[in-house]
């Protein structure tokens, strides 16, 4: 195995690529009693069109999330979640737009639980009856999401930002789309994407890295497969799909999202630098320590729930800011006015330095979480990044970089405002 030592953050990481193409990462933690394992595939809500065995398949929106639900079924009629729980593990799973991950944490029985994880994720078992039964469960989950103003606000944001990219798709799908899912389609998706060469296994704890690899070799398929071609739609224009969008829901105050559409970097290291710079710039421009935040808060245009940050997925990236406001348009206009001021006067050097130290410290604190270590490593692997080089990246960031970022990104044609308005709001 390859050993990586990151002296500046005090982390050691072992890496191995198995013969079947599976990438394995292990963070040895000999002084801890708990262990965490994360087994993920580069397959998410945006991957609805792909080519399998020479044919292009168009699958229903929400199928990656549906497949995650069904993967816990086992041929003996049992459920892998219950098996892991009975063995002392705390298991769960999630599906995002880009990946699906299965994980557990435990203080004992790690090897038994890791065996269970690898077995049930690699061997699918569906019947038409069980697939149809799941439709009612997921349909109820979808309806709950549709009734959630926060989720609807974010969904509107993505649909307003993008015209073609499947990031627009709801990860859970719609009640209508999941009704089209069959056991055969689920098997096709598993065959395409749940193959070791499209997956990664990350472990943190007091474990032997070689033993992790040996168990994966024993259980998982032996052959490596070529990557599956995917179609993420036509090229996106620079401008947003909609400059403004709103709907009415039962909320106490207007709930808004401001999105800024950007261009993704061309390679993995560039994407990581862009992500770190994007988050840092957001904080310097409108984070809780910025003069703009103080102004908006004093005027009663935002409250302590206001947030901002950088988001990226394969083929797309954007900034987002949001919260509650009596006048969302005024918040947007104030941000643009601050962008113009920074264009004339620049960022305050002291503020920028403080924000960079705070961002660095936040990243370091995240190293205390085994879950964060493993999930960050898995996502970074799929994106061709090394996340633990962040100290060196922060070293290279200057105030000029942040000012250039603001000037490039914050153009009116690249911004959208979405609002969930109260029922009685005349606007």
Q: CA-to-CA distance for 200 and 45, rounded, in angstroms?
A: 18
Half-sphere exposure of 152 (CA within 13 A, CB side): 20
DSSP string covering 195-214: SGGGEEEEEEES--HHHHHH
Q: CA-to-CA distance for 204 and 199, rounded, in angstroms?
A: 17
CA nearest to 232, candidates 376, 21, 42:
42
Is the distance from CB of 319 to CB of 263 less than 8 angstroms?
no
Q: Are strands 2-6 and 90-95 parallel, antiparallel or unpaired?
A: unpaired
Is the distance from CB of 127 to CB of 63 less than 8 angstroms?
no
Q: What is the DSSP letter of 253?
A: S
Inter-CA distances, 108 with 32, 87, 105, 116, Å: 12, 8, 9, 14
Residue carrying the six token digits 């918040």: 331
Q: CA-to-CA distance for 254 and 248, rounded, in angstroms?
A: 9
* CA atoms 36, 271, 388, 351: torsion sign: negative
Half-sphere exposure of 341 (CA within 13 A, CB side): 12
Half-sphere exposure of 144 (CA within 13 A, CB side): 7
Alpha-carbon torsion angle 395, 343, 362, 3, nearest 10 = -40
**From the CB of residue 305, how many other CB atoms can be counted at a distance below 10 Å?**
10
Residue 408 buriedness (CB in 10 A; 0-12 / 13-18 / 19+): exposed
**From the CB of residue 284, how many other CB atoms can be counted at a distance below 10 Å?**
27
Q: Which of 7, 16, 19, 68 is catalytic?
A: 68
Q: Which two tokens stand for residue 123?
A: 């061997």
**From the CB of residue 227, how many other CB atoms can be counted at a distance below 10 Å?**
12
Q: Which two tokens stand for residue 72?
A: 């816990």
Q: Assess whether 68 carries a catalytic annotation.
A: yes
Q: Which two tokens stand for residue 317?
A: 């990236």
CA nearest to 24, candidates 9, 38, 43, 36:
38
Catalytic machinery residues: 68
């Amino acid at each position: 195995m390859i050993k990586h030592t990151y002296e500046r953050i005090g982390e050691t990481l072992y890496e191995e690529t198995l013969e079947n193409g599976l990438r394995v990462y292990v963070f040895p933690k000999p002084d801890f009693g708990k262990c965490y394992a994360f087994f993920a595939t580069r397959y998410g809500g945006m991957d609805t069109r792909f080519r399998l065995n020479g044919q292009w398949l168009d699958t229903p929106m929400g199928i990656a999330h549906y497949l995650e639900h069904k993967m816990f079924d086992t041929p003996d009629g049992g459920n892998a979640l219950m098996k892991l729980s009975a063995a002392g593990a705390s298991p769960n799973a999630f599906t995002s737009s880009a990946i699906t991950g299965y994980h557990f944490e435990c203080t004992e029985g790690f090897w038994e639980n890791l065996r269970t994880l690898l077995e049930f994720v690699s061997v699918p078992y569906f019947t038409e009856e069980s697939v149809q039964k799941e439709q009612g469960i997921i349909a109820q989950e979808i309806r709950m999401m549709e009734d959630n103003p926060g989720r609807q606000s974010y969904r509107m944001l993505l649909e307003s930002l993008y015209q073609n990219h499947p990031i627009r798709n709801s990860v859970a799908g719609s009640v209508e789309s999941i009704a089209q899912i069959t056991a055969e389609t689920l098997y096709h998706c598993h065959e395409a994407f749940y193959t070791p060469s499209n997956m990664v296994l990350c472990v943190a704890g007091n474990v032997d890295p070689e033993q992790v690899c040996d168990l994966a070799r024993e259980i998982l398929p032996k052959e490596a497969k070529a990557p599956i071609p995917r179609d993420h739609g036509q090229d996106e224009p620079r401008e947003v799909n909609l400059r403004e969008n709103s709907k009415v829901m039962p909320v106490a105050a207007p709930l808004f999202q401001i999105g800024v559409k950007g261009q993704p970097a061309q390679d993995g290291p560039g994407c990581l630098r862009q992500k770190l710079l994007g988050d840092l710039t957001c904080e310097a421009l409108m984070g809780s320590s910025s003069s703009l935040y103080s102004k908006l808060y004093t005027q009663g245009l935002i409250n302590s729930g206001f947030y901002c940050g950088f988001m990226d997925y394969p083929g797309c990236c954007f900034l987002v800011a949001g919260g509650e406001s009596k006048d969302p348009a005024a918040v947007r206009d104030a941000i643009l006015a601050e962008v113009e001021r920074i264009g004339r006067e620049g960022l305050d050097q002291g503020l920028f330095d403080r924000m960079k130290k705070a961002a660095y410290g936040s990243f370091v604190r995240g190293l205390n979480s085994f879950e964060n270590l493993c999930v960050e490593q898995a996502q970074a692997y799929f994106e061709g990044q090394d996340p633990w080089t962040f100290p060196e990246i922060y070293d290279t960031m200057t105030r000029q970089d942040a000012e250039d970022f603001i000037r490039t990104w914050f153009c009116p044609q690249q911004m959208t405002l979405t609002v969930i308005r109260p029922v009685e709001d005349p606007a």
